[in-house]
Amino acid sequence: MLAERTTRYPLVLVPGLLGFIRLLGYPYWYGIESKLRSLGFQVYPVRVSPLHASEVRGEQLLERIQALLLETGADKVNLIGHSQGALTARYAAAKRPEWIASVTSVSGPNHGSELADYCQRQAPVGTWRERLFAWAMRSTARWIGWLESGAIGPTLPLDARACGESLSTAGVALFNHRYPQGLPEVWGGEGAEEVAGVRYYSWSGTLQPGLTNRGGNLFDGPNLACRLFAQTFTREIGQCDGMVGRFSSHLGKVIGDQYPLDHFDSINQTFGLVGKGADPVGLFIEHGRRLAEAGL
């Protein structure tokens, strides 16, 4: 049997909102990290603040990348970011492109999330609803920090308001003005595949009756949540994964935007309970080979 062709540079996995490496041993990248490692890829899931602005998380990511470059002896890394992790990775690539071989957005809100917009409308700044919502988010993030077993280090800062603003359509528009690398020039199009020596890719899914509400998702609570969240969408109604719209996810070379995946299926959550016919782990393996073929 021929050995798997692996990437030249390590794969760095960047989590999204309320993300982690492992909680009491349970991985965020369920079955993905382990499978890629079994095929010979160098894979490093990283820890950033579970609740903060994308720029703040990006600075934390840059510190981790610098340490990884020293640790591994690599010249660059391939960043793969899920959800807000895509914005975090984009920031790092914009600031230090010489450290980054590629950025891959997996279900990333590259033009903002309509769900974040809805939350802002329902809990305006300064109201008791916003204070309650922020308290709930901070409490969840603190529990994640306490239960995190995948990394050691200082307690990371939390800011629910900054996080919400960073994920809203208006907040991401400001972010995109500062860091436009890889963005499409037209809504629903593709962006430049290479900017400043960094390759840009993206993929995402949509809720599809008969597929994403079948299979393992019949028993998966987060899938029900995504179907409820999808009701808050207006611009991309019927064309979202429950948290991010199909076209909003576009960045660089669009590998696909209509896989039968809800937002959590994209990272094989929960416990690999995904929709009928979905293969999120396979998408990551295929992409690892794609990066290897590109010499990355």
145 vs 51, 53, 64, 151, CA distance in Å?
Answer: 11, 17, 17, 10
177 Cβ contact list (under 8 Å, min separation 6):
none
Choose, from 52, 250, 263, 287, the residue flagged as catalytic: 263
Choose, from 54, 83, 204, 249, the residue flagged as catalytic: 83
User: Are 199 and 252 a contacting pair, CB within 8 Å?
Assistant: yes
Annotated catalytic residue 83: yes
Residue with tokens 């808050």: 232
Annotated catalytic residue 287: no
Annotated catalytic residue 263: yes
And the tokens for 141? 């993030």
Distance CA(85)–CA(112), nearest Å, equals 13
Report the SS3 class of residue 1.
coil
**Alpha helices of 125-269 — where are they, by DSSP H?**
128-147, 160-167, 169-178, 221-229
Element (H, E) at 14: strand 11-14
Write the DSSP string, 183-204: -BSSTTS-B-SEETTEEEEEEE
Choose, from 117, 159, 241, 262, the residue flagged as catalytic: 241
How far is CA 54 from its chain centroid?
Answer: 11
How far is CA 116 from its chain centroid?
Answer: 15
Comparing C-alpha atoms, which of 112, 67, 68 is closest to residue 86?
112
Signed CA dihedral, 141, 58, 223, 216: sign only? negative
User: Are 18 and 243 a contacting pair, CB within 8 Å?
Assistant: no
| Residues noted as catalytic | 83, 241, 263
